[in-house]
A and B are shown apart, each in its own frame.
Chain A
Amino acid sequence: MPSFLLTSLLLIFGASFLASWICGRCSDKCGWLLSLAPFGAFALLASHAGTIADGSVVAYHVDWFSALDCAFSLRLDGLALLMGLLVTGIGGLIVIYASGYMHGHPLLGRFYLYLLSFMGAMLGLVLSDNLIVLFIFWELTSITSYLLIGFNHEQKESRWKALQALLTTGLGAMAMLAGFIFIGGVSGSFSLTEINAMGDVLRESPFYLAMVLLVLGGAFTKSAQVPFHFWLPNAMAAPTPVSAYLHSATMVKAGIFLMAALNPALGGTELWGNTLSIFGSVTLLLAVVLGLFQKDLKAILAYTTLGVLGLLTMLLGIGTDYAIKAMVGFLLGHALYKAALFMVAGSVDHETGTRDVTLLRGLRGLMPITAFAGGLAALSMSGLPPFFGFIGKELIYKASVKLEGLELYFLLAAFIGNFLMMALALKAGIGPFFGKSNHLALPKKPHEAPPAMWLGPVVLGVGGLVLGLFPFLVTGLLAPTIASILGGPVPVIKLELWHGFNLPLLLSVFTVAGGYALYTIRGKFWAVADQVRAAIRPWGAEAMYERIFNATIWLSKAQTRRLQTGRLHDYVFMIVLVTVGFLVWAILNFGGLQFDIDWSEFDLIMMGLVVIMVISAFVAVTATAYMTVLVALGTVGFGVALIFVYYGAPDLAITQLLVETLTVVLFMYVVLRLPPLKTISSKMMRVRDAILASTFGFLMMLLVLKAVNIQFNHAISDKLAAMSYPEAKGKNVVNVILVDFRALDTLGEITVIAAAALGIAALVSVKFKKRKEGTS
Chain B
Amino acid sequence: MKYFILGGAGRLLFPCLIVLSLIVLYRGHNLPGGGFIGGLMAATAYILVGIGSSMRVAKEKLRVDPVFLLALGLAVAIISGLPGMLTGGVFLTGEWLPTFSLPLLGKIHLGTPLVFDVGVYLVVIGFTLHTTFCLAELAQPETEEPVD
Q: Which of A658, A740, A757 is close to B127, meaning CB atoms less than 8 Å apart? A: A757
CB <8 Å contact, A732 and B32:
yes
Interface-centre pick from A747, A751, A760 (highest chain B CB count, 10 A):
A747
Known A747-B77, A750-B119; judge A731-B139 contact (CB<8 A).
no
CB <8 Å contact, A728 and B134:
no
Shortest C-beta distance, B64 to chain A (Å), equals 14
B61 at interface, CB cutoff 8 A: no
CB <8 Å contact, A764 and B137:
yes
Known A729-B29, A744-B91, A751-B74; judge A738-B138 contact (CB<8 A).
no
B94 at interface, CB cutoff 8 A: yes
Shortest C-beta distance, B26 to chain A (Å), equals 11
Q: Which of B28, B135, B136 is close to A732, meaning CB atoms less than 8 Å apart? A: B28
Shortest C-beta distance, A762 to chain B (Å), equals 9
A742's nearest neighbour on chain B, judged by CB, is: B92
Residues of B within 8 A of A753 (CB): 123-124, 127
Taking residues whose C-beta sits less than 8 angstroms from the other chain, chain B's interface range is: 35 or more
Q: Chain A 138-176, CB within 8 Å of chain B: the 1/0 string? A: 000000000000000000000000000000000000000
CB <8 Å contact, A735 and B34:
yes
CB <8 Å contact, A735 and B28:
yes
- Complex Cα distance A746/B117, Å? 10
- Complex Cα distance A772/B128, Å? 25
A586 at interface, CB cutoff 8 A: no
Q: Which of A665, A732, A757 is close to B33, meaning CB atoms less than 8 Å apart? A: A732
CB <8 Å contact, B131 and A750:
no
- Complex Cα distance A729/B29, Å? 8
Give the contact stretch, choosing among A101-109, A299-307, A567-575, A669-677.
A669-677
- Complex Cα distance A477/B106, Å? 75
- Complex Cα distance A764/B137, Å? 9
CB <8 Å contact, A754 and B40:
no
Within A723-759, the residues touching B (CB, 8 Å) are 728-732, 734-736, 738-740, 743-744, 746-747, 750-751, 753-754, 756-758
CB <8 Å contact, A750 and B120:
yes
CB <8 Å contact, A757 and B111:
no
Known A669-B139, A728-B113, A729-B109; judge A738-B134 contact (CB<8 A).
no
CB <8 Å contact, A731 and B29:
yes
Q: Which of B33, B41, B126 is close to A754, meaning CB atoms less than 8 Å apart? A: B126
A409 at interface, CB cutoff 8 A: no
B44 at interface, CB cutoff 8 A: yes
Residues of A within 8 A of B36 (CB): 655, 738
Residues of A within 8 A of B114 (CB): 739
- Complex Cα distance A353/B124, Å? 58
CB <8 Å contact, A650 and B94:
no
Known A743-B113, A750-B74; judge A761-B37 contact (CB<8 A).
no
B104 at interface, CB cutoff 8 A: no
B54 at interface, CB cutoff 8 A: no
Interface-centre pick from A730, A756, A772 (highest chain B CB count, 10 A):
A730
Q: Which of A658, A661, A670, A740 is close to B135, meaning CB atoms less than 8 Å apart? A: A670
Residues of B within 8 A of A743 (CB): 81, 92, 113, 116
Shortest C-beta distance, B43 to chain A (Å), equals 7
A662 at interface, CB cutoff 8 A: yes
Q: Which of B43, B120, B130 is close to A662, meaning CB atoms less than 8 Å apart? A: B43
B51 at interface, CB cutoff 8 A: yes
CB <8 Å contact, A669 and B123:
no
CB <8 Å contact, B123 and A750:
yes
Within B86-114, the residues touching A (CB, 8 Å) are 91-92, 94, 96, 109, 111, 113-114
- Complex Cα distance A743/B40, Å? 19
A498 at interface, CB cutoff 8 A: no
- Complex Cα distance A669/B141, Å? 12
CB <8 Å contact, B70 and A757:
yes
A765 at interface, CB cutoff 8 A: yes
CB <8 Å contact, B66 and A650:
no
Known A665-B51, A669-B138, A747-B92; judge A768-B113 contact (CB<8 A).
no
B67 at interface, CB cutoff 8 A: yes
- Complex Cα distance A116/B90, Å? 35
- Complex Cα distance A51/B89, Å? 42
Within B21-53, the residues touching A (CB, 8 Å) are 28-37, 40-41, 43-44, 47, 51
A767 at interface, CB cutoff 8 A: yes
Known A739-B120, A743-B116, A754-B74; judge A666-B135 contact (CB<8 A).
yes
CB <8 Å contact, A665 and B47:
yes
Residues of B within 8 A of A662 (CB): 40, 43-44, 47, 128
A658's nearest neighbour on chain B, judged by CB, is: B40
CB <8 Å contact, B117 and A739:
yes
Within A642-661, the residues touching B (CB, 8 Å) are 650-651, 654-655, 658-659, 661
A771 at interface, CB cutoff 8 A: yes
CB <8 Å contact, B139 and A732:
no
Shortest C-beta distance, A298 to chain B (Å), equals 45
- Complex Cα distance A618/B57, Å? 39
Minimum-distance CB pairs A-B, first 9: A650-B32, A730-B29, A658-B40, A669-B135, A731-B30, A750-B123, A754-B70, A743-B92, A669-B139
Q: List 18 A-B contacts (CB under 8 A).
A: A655-B36, A658-B40, A659-B40, A666-B131, A669-B132, A729-B29, A731-B29, A732-B30, A735-B28, A738-B36, A739-B113, A739-B117, A747-B116, A751-B74, A753-B127, A754-B123, A757-B67, A764-B134
Residues of chain B touching chain A, judged by Cβ–Cβ distance below 8 Å, are 28-37, 40-41, 43-44, 47, 51, 66-67, 70-71, 73-74, 77-78, 81, 91-92, 94, 96, 109, 111, 113-114, 116-117, 119-120, 123-124, 126-128, 130-132, 134-139, 141, 146
Given A757-B131, A772-B141, 18 new contacts (CB under 8 A): A665-B51, A669-B135, A670-B138, A673-B138, A729-B96, A731-B29, A732-B28, A735-B28, A738-B36, A739-B34, A746-B116, A747-B77, A747-B116, A753-B127, A757-B67, A758-B130, A764-B134, A768-B146
